[in-house]
A = this chain, B = another copy of it.
Amino acid sequence: MNESETFDIIVVGAGIIGVATAYHLQQNNPEKRILLLDRYLAAGQANTAMSAAAVRNMFASSTNQLLTDSTIKFIEHVQTELGFELMFEKCGYLWLLSEEQFNSEGVKLWMERMKRSGISHKVYDKHELKDMIPSLVVDFSNSEEAHLMNLKEVSYGLFGADCGVLDATRFVEFYFEEFKKISSVKPRFGVNVEKLILEADPKLDLPGEPFVWQDKRVVGVKTDKGEFRADCVVLATGAWANELLDPIGMDSRTKCKKRQMFVVHASDNEGLKQLLNTKGFNDMEVCPFIILPSAGVYFRPQIQEHGFWVGCGDKLGRAYKYIQTDEELVPESSYYENSMFPVLSAYFPDFASTRPVNSWAGGYCYSPDAIPLVYYENGVLVANGASGSGIMKADAIARIADALYRGMPEAELFGGKKIPSEALSIKKRKVETENVVI
């Protein structure tokens, strides 16, 4: 068959943003034929599955606060009211901060804005922290290594109780199953979108179209399984967006960086068991998601696995990529050993005697202000640049994308709060730059 198939909407990418967007679009446009595509063989198998799968509303920008707070409330709603198990556990987030960090303008502004937005947060001093987490090292005065490594001593902890962890794959599954229930079009997997089809509008059927003097719009996608056409092409492609947008001359503003996650089990390590079972922060009596003061190293509890996922916010020295390459999927054991482990074990010596049992890596899609980009231009509806927090913003991003599709001036987020539909666009962007990124 050489002819192209035609739909109303094509959603490219079945990660968390893609499935959430497909679901809300179908929900609010029941008559539209929506095709969901992914290059992998199932939904949520790419970078969504590679993330720390943690959610927090502790952001400094009111935009990110709004996006995450409403998405977390939706997650609770799905798990509690709809009874769909997401393994969402409100373990909380604990930022360990040095004296200097705690007193910095950035952290003051962050706390001020959280207070104004009513986002739960609490400050612990180092003595309180030491009582609750006895294995935490808060005194580096006798550690030559910590001095050599220029590690910052812990003076405070900033704790957010409404944050937590979940199972990202289940969250994808929720949207995907709900979408399938209401969609008349079967999603297709193993389909690689090679390019966006940009055509003159109107077409004059001249050879060489479109010319510079013609209006143009995207009318579909060329894939390795044929051509698909639609009035609207949704790009929920994360770290791959440039590969499709650049050739038609749209600048996504995003770039990609490799991130890695290492799994450390607590079994056979009494110290780590105690750390995992830290009391006082949450009802589950489990340790919160903890961010160290130095080098961007963090870990989250993984209760079912009885262990931790350890990650690191890679900054200067880790290459930006234009688009995600296969290289980003290979974790580096030397990175854990030489970069993360020395930091981790300086603050939590119990990690010293245990090595990772598993690891993975993926592509982290940056936007310049660490706020997602959602816009509808030239027939393409882009939902991108979630900057490492796509899962915790997915529901809000999807509702904004749907509002843009329907031409609504505002999007209503879960819980009833509203946001201008173009607030996250490139042309009418109206956001506060986010300073609290991991």
Interface residues of chain A, those whose CB is within 8 Å of chain B, are 148-151, 198, 204, 206, 208, 210-216, 242, 245-251, 253, 255, 257, 294-297, 312, 314-322, 334-335, 338-340, 342-343, 366, 368, 378
Query: CB within 8 A of A322: which of B257, B322, B335, B338?
Result: B322
Who on chain B is nearest to A346 by CB? B213
Query: CB within 8 A of A320: which of B198, B249, B296?
Result: B249
With A248-B316, A317-B198, A322-B322 in contact, is A342–B213 under 8 Å at CB?
yes
28 contacts between A and B (CB under 8 A): A148-B204, A149-B214, A150-B213, A150-B214, A150-B215, A206-B338, A211-B338, A212-B296, A212-B297, A212-B312, A212-B317, A212-B339, A213-B294, A213-B295, A213-B339, A213-B342, A216-B317, A242-B322, A246-B321, A246-B322, A247-B319, A248-B316, A249-B257, A249-B315, A249-B317, A249-B318, A249-B320, A250-B320
With A204-B148, A322-B322 in contact, is A248–B317 under 8 Å at CB?
yes
What residues of chain B lie closer than 8 Å to A211, measured between beta carbons? Answer: 338-339, 342
Verify A216–B253 contact, CB threshold 8 A.
no
Q: What is the CA–CA distance of A257 and B148 in the complex, to the nearest angstrom?
A: 46
Task: Give the oligomeric copy count.
Answer: 2
Closest CB of chain B to A208's CB: distance in Å? Answer: 5
What residues of chain B lie closer than 8 Å to A342, measured between beta carbons? Answer: 211, 213
Q: What is the CA–CA distance of A211 and B148 in the complex, to the nearest angstrom?
A: 13
What residues of chain B lie closer than 8 Å to A251, measured between beta carbons? Answer: 255, 320, 366, 368
What residues of chain B lie closer than 8 Å to A322, measured between beta carbons? Answer: 242, 246, 322
Who on chain B is nearest to A342 by CB? B213
Who on chain B is nearest to A211 by CB? B339
Q: What is the CA–CA distance of A214 and B251 in the complex, to the nearest angstrom?
A: 33
Closest CB of chain B to A151's CB: distance in Å? Answer: 7
Q: What is the CA–CA distance of A136 and B148 in the complex, to the nearest angstrom?
A: 73
Verify A212–B314 contact, CB threshold 8 A.
yes
With A198-B317, A322-B322, A368-B368 in contact, is A343–B212 under 8 Å at CB?
yes
List 12 additional contacts besides A249-B314, A249-B315; criterion CB under 8 Å: A149-B213, A206-B338, A212-B297, A216-B316, A242-B322, A246-B319, A246-B320, A246-B321, A248-B316, A251-B255, A251-B366, A322-B322
Closest CB of chain B to A236's CB: distance in Å? Answer: 20
What residues of chain B lie closer than 8 Å to A368, measured between beta carbons? Answer: 251, 253, 368
Q: What is the CA–CA distance of A17 and B242 in the complex, to the nearest angstrom?
A: 28
